[in-house]
A and B are shown apart, each in its own frame.
Chain A
C-alpha cells in the first residue's frame, strides 16, 4: 500500500486518510463531501454534457475537459451529486482534489486500486467503495476518448 507511485497531490490525500484515527475517518470524508466544488454555470445549465456514473448508489454526474492535446494536457474534472448523498460526494471530492489539473498521462496512470488505498473499505463497505472505482474508471475512459477524438 505505498503511495509512491501516486501523483503528489493524490498521495497526500491517501496519507491524510491514513493518519487520522479510525473513528475520525468518516468525519474526514464528510469534510471532503462538503468541499466538493459546485459545477460551473456553463455545465450546470447543460446537464446533458455530464455523464452519469450508474455504478454509484446515488446519482452522480461527471464531466472531463482537456486543455489542449497530448499527454501533458491538464485535466479538468467536474462532479455533481446531491447533498443527500454525502458518501458519493466525498468520493468525488477526493478525486477532484487529487486529480484535478494533473496532466492527462498522470491521471491515466493512477492505479485502479486507488479506492482501496484510503483505508475506508471497512468503514464504508466494499459495495459503497465501488462507486469510487467506477468514477475513476469513467474519468480515465473520458480522457482516452477525448484524446482519440
Chain B
C-alpha cells in the first residue's frame, strides 16, 4: 500500500509535488506499513555511521551497477535487492542521501527504470535531517524480506544511449550538468575528484552548461519553481514540454537534474545519458566542443 502524498504548501508549486516529502513527514511516517526509507550516499560507509531510524541502505555502486557490464542491474538482481531490503512493489519508497540528494536522485532514477511507481525524495536529504537535530541511529534496521516481482528495466523513456545522443544532436537540447571546468575542457574530472580517465575534455556540441547543484539551495532543498524556471527556461532557453537530454560524467549528477526537470518542472520526456562524459570523451569520432560556447553540430558528425 502506498502512502498518501504529503500535503505541503512548499511542494505545491512543483509539477509533481507527490515526488517530495519533508524531513518532518519522514519522521512521522518511517514506521508506517507500506513506507520504506532508503539512504543512498556517495560515501559507501556513511549510512553505517548513523542513519534515519528504520532506513535501509542502497549503494549506487555495489547495489545498482552491474558488476561486469557497464550497465545497471537486471530485473532479477533488482528484484533480489528489493526483496532483501524489505521493499514491496506497491511500497512508497522515500530516498535521501548526502550532498543535496545527488546520489539519492540517482537511486530514484534507477528505481524509475524498473517502473517502481511510488518513489520520492526527502527534500534536503541527509544534511537537512542532521541540521534539524533529528535522530540518527547505528541500530541495524530489521527487514522482512519481500516477494518483489521480476520486472525488466525499461530504459527508453528516461535513459539515452550514445546513439540516441548522436541522433538527437542539433534537435534535442542537451544539458551538461558538470562543473564549468569540465564543460570547457580545462579538466576531465570534477574539481577535487579522482581522474576517471577520459581522453578528451570538453562537452557535447550544443549542450548548455548548468552545473547540477544550481538547482539546490544552501540547505540542500530544491530551489523554488520560479528560481528553477529562471535557470532552465529563461537562461538556458528550454521550452516547457520539449524533449531534453542531460548528462554529466557517469550519469549521477545528471539524475539530479533529470529529477528537477521531470518532477519539479514537469518536462515529459527527459532522458539521462548515463554513458556521459566517461563514454563520450573516450568515443572515437564523436564531435566535441571546447570552451565556453555551446558549439555547433559539425556537418560530418555522423
B48 pairs with A55, CB closer than 8 A: no
Bound-complex Cα distance A125 to B98 (A): 18
Q: Given the complex of chains A and B, what is the CA–CA distance between A128 and B48 in angstroms?
A: 17
Indicate if the CB atoms of B196 and A127 lie closer than 8 Å.
yes
With both chains docked as a complex, state the minimum distance between the C-beta of B44 and any C-beta of chain A, in angstroms. 6
Whether A29 lies near B45 (C-beta < 8 A) is: yes
- B71 close to chain A: CB less than 8 A: no
B250's closest neighbor in chain A, by CB? Answer: A127
| Interface-facing stretch out of A2-10, A72-80, A82-90 | A82-90
- Residue of chain B at shortest CB distance from A86: B45
Inter-subunit contact A85/B194 (CB<8 Å): no
A42 within 8 A of B: no
| Contact between chains at A125 and B61 (CB < 8 Å) | yes
Cβ of A57 under 8 Å from chain B: yes
Q: Which one of B43, B61, B191, B196 contacts A86 once the chains associate, using CB atoms below 8 Å?
A: B43
* Bound Cα distance from A122 to B192, whole angstroms: 23
Report if A26-B44 is in contact (Cβ < 8 Å); known contacts: A55-B194, A83-B49, A134-B194. Answer: yes
- Contact digits for A80-114, partner B, Cβ 8 Å, 1 yes 0 no: 00011111101000000000000000000000000
B187 to chain A, nearest CB (A): 11
Residues of chain B within 8 A of A130, CB atoms compared: 194
Q: Chain A, 104-142, contact with B by CB distance < 8 Å: what is the 0/1 string?
A: 000000000000000000111101101100100000000
**What is the interface size of chain A, counting residues whose CB is below 8 A from a CB of the partner?**
28
- Given A30-B49, A122-B67 in contact, is the A128-B44 Cβ separation under 8 Å? yes
- Chain B at the A interface: SS class: loop
Instruction: Give the CA-CA distance A88 to B42 in the complex, in Å.
Output: 11
Q: Which of B20-76 contact A (CB under 8 A)?
A: 42-46, 48-49, 61-62, 67
Q: Which residues of A contact B191 (CB under 8 A)?
A: 54
Q: Are B194 and A57 in contact (CB under 8 A)?
A: yes
Which B-chain residue is minimally distant from A53 (CB atoms)? B192
Instruction: Tell whether B195 is near chain A: CB-to-CB under 8 Å.
Output: yes
Q: Which of B43, B45, B48, B193 has the most CB of A within 10 A?
A: B45
Closest to A123 in B: B62
Judge whether A87 and B49 touch: CB under 8 Å: no
Q: How far is it, in angstroms, between the C-alpha of A130 and the C-alpha of B189 when the chains are bound?
A: 14
From B44, B61, B192, A54 is in contact (CB under 8 Å) with: B192
User: How many residues on chain B are close to A (CB under 8 Å)?
Assistant: 17
- Return the chain B residue nearest A60 by Cβ: B192
Complex CA–CA separation, A128 to B42 (angstroms): 10
Residues of B within 8 A of A27 (CB): 48
Alpha-carbon gap, A88 to B191, bound state (A): 17
| Complex Cα spacing A26 to B59, Å | 12
Taking a contact as CB atoms closer than 8 A, the residue among B46, B192, B194 that contacts A127 in the complex is B194
Contacts of B192 in A (CB 8 A): 52, 54, 56, 59
Q: Is the CB of B45 within 8 A of A58?
A: no
B48: which A residues are within 8 A, CB to CB?
Answer: 26-27, 30, 86
Query: In the bound complex, do residue B45 and residue A26 qualify as a contact, i.e. CB atoms below 8 Å apart?
Result: yes
Cβ of B62 and Cβ of A125 under 8 Å apart? yes
Q: Which residues on the B side are within 8 Å of A26 (C-beta)?
A: 44-45, 48
Given the interface pairs A86-B48, A122-B67, A125-B62, the reply to whether A131 lies near B43 with Cβ below 8 Å is no
Tell me the complex Cα distance, A55–B187, Å.
13
Instruction: Please state if B46 and A84 are interface contacts (CB–CB under 8 Å).
Output: yes
Report the bound CA distance from A26 to B46 in whole Å. Answer: 11
Q: How far is the CB of B66 from chain A (nearest CB, A)?
A: 13
A84 to B43, alpha carbons, bound, how many Å?
Answer: 8
Instruction: Provide the residues of chain A in CB contact with B195, threshold 8 Å.
Output: 55
* Cβ contacts under 8 Å, B43 to chain A: 57-58, 84-88
Known: A87-B43, A123-B62, A125-B61. 7 other contacts (CB 8 A): A26-B45, A30-B45, A30-B48, A55-B195, A86-B45, A88-B43, A125-B44
User: Can you list 8 A-B pairs with a CB-CB distance of less than 8 A?
Assistant: A27-B48, A30-B45, A30-B48, A83-B49, A85-B43, A86-B43, A125-B44, A134-B194
Residues in chain B within 8 A of chain A (CB atoms): 42-46, 48-49, 61-62, 67, 98, 191-196
**5 shortest A-B CB distances, which residue pairs?**
A86-B45, A125-B61, A130-B194, A55-B194, A87-B45
